[in-house]
Amino acid sequence: MNNEKTPNWPAFVLRLAAIYNIAWGSWVILFPNHLFDLTGIARPNYPGIWQCVGMIVGVYGVGYWLAAKDFSRHWPIILVGFLGKILGPIGFVQSAISGSLPWAWGLTILTNDVVWWLPFLAMLYMAFKVRSAPQGGGSLDALPGDVEQVSRRMMVSNGKNLWELGLEKRLLLIFVRHAGCTFCRETLGELKAQLPNLLAQKITPVVVHLGAPDDGAKMLERAGLQDTLLVSNPEADLYRAYDLKRGQLSQLLGPQVWWRGFRSAILKGHGTGSLVGDGFQLGGAFLVEKGRIIKSFPAKNAADPVPFSCVLE
């Protein structure tokens, strides 16, 4: 299970959409000429085709009602409905411009499609966040402050557990978001550049990531950091122990993130890759010595870089 709390409003919206779709579909099936008469255009030669449209809309209503029981599980139904509500208005605008349909039909587009855009998009966003949350059973209950308990379970790529290693060396724990994240690639590139300075101050970097060990090894190899220590933590309990949050919409897709993403991926050439881990997880860095956190740099958003200059002060 994950520990994400889901709101109640999606069930209400989906049931409202279901009632609307079934009512609208029934209207079209029972009175196929009514909308044409109301808008002053000729009745169709084959009303059965228009009634089929009503049937499809009504069937969507049944799907929405079922999806209301668990919107995050039944997100494909919401996605299909959302795509229809995007493509339908596009087709209407093209037909209205060409004169095939009157602009008065736009009132139907407003109630059938446009008013549902934001709630459906919000549900898809939340469903992805819930479904992509790390799965790890009881270990997901780790709370901030449980650093020692969780660190003793974390195995470093050199064979030691993270807690023991932290008692022996000054560690810079670098928590990355996921292997395909352009900001994480930029961070690893900066780590490679700063590695001589870190080692000169007897600071041992350890990269913590959300994928399997092989995924982490490939990530470090790509960055030229094959000898850097690595901790694989798909359950993300070490992230939670260090109080690193999952991001909100503004922290993941805000204007600053978009601009820095363009700079990192395109202008600096770091590119992007496939998502391995949790795309909502925020990263950070912590300087640890003898089991104590000396300096902490939790990311404020997905684009927030690790301030190596502050680490090396």
Residue listed under structure tokens 């089991």: 291
The confidence score (pLDDT) of residue 78 equals 93
Q: Check whether residue 205 and residue 290 sit in a common domain.
A: yes
Domain boundary among 78, 112, 131: 131
**Predicted local distance difference test score (pLDDT) of residue 256:** 86
Do 94 and 237 reside in the same domain of the chain?
no
108 and 48 housed in the same domain: yes
176 in a domain, yes or no? yes
Please report whether residue 274 resides in a domain: yes
Question: Which pLDDT belongs to residue 106?
Answer: 87
Q: Are 271 and 157 in a shared domain? A: yes
Q: What is the CATH number of the domain that holds 246?
A: 3.40.30.10
Residues 161 and 80 occupy one common structural domain? no
Q: 148 with 119, same domain?
A: no
**Residue 26 included in any domain:** yes
**What are the φ and ψ backbone dihedral angles of 29, each rounded to 5 degrees?**
-70, -45
Where are the strands (E) in 46-116, listed by range? none
In this structure, the answer to whether residues 121 and 198 fall within a common structural domain is no
**Is 136 part of any domain?**
no
Q: Looking at the structure, tell me whether residues 146 and 125 fall in a common domain.
A: no
Distance of CA 195 to the CA centre of its chain: 31
Q: Does 64 share its domain with 28?
A: yes
Look at residue 187 and tell me if it is in a domain.
yes
163, 306: one domain:
yes
Task: Tell me which of 104, 131, 158 is where a domain ends.
Answer: 131
292-298 sheet: strands from edge to edge: 229-232, 203-209, 170-175, 284-289, 292-298
Is 191:209 a contact under the CB 8 Å cutoff?
no
| Alpha carbon distance 241, 28 (integer Å) | 56
Res 2: pLDDT: 46
Count of domains in the chain? 2
Cα atoms found within 13 Å of the Cα of residue 259, Cβ hemisphere only: 4
For 265, which DSSP code?
A: I
Instruction: Say whether 230 sits in a helix, a strand or coil.
Output: strand
Q: In the 8-state DSSP scheme, what is residue 204?
A: E
Question: Is 305 part of a structural domain of the chain?
Answer: yes
Is 253 in a helix, a strand, or coil?
A: helix
- Flag whether 2 is in a domain: no
How far from each other are the two terminal CA atoms of the chain, in whole angstroms? 41
What are 261-275's pLDDT values in tens digits?
Answer: 888 888 888 888 777
pLDDT mean for each 10 residues of the chain (313 residues): 67 96 95 89 89 93 94 90 92 90 88 94 87 54 68 93 93 89 91 95 95 90 94 92 87 85 86 80 93 92 91 87
Q: What confidence tens digit (pLDDT) does each residue in 21-40 have? A: 999 999 999 999 998 888 88
Residues 127 and 145 reside in one and the same domain: no
Q: Where is the domain boundary, 131, 163, 183?
A: 131
Q: Is the whole model's pTM more than 0.95, yes or no?
A: no
Are residues 72 and 38 both part of a single domain?
yes
Q: Which helix (H) or strand (E) holds 207?
A: strand 203-209
Residue 193, Cβ density class (10 Å: 0-12 exposed, 13-18 middle, ≥19 buried): exposed
In a domain, 113, yes or no: yes
| pLDDT value, residue 139 | 39
Domain range for 45: 9-131
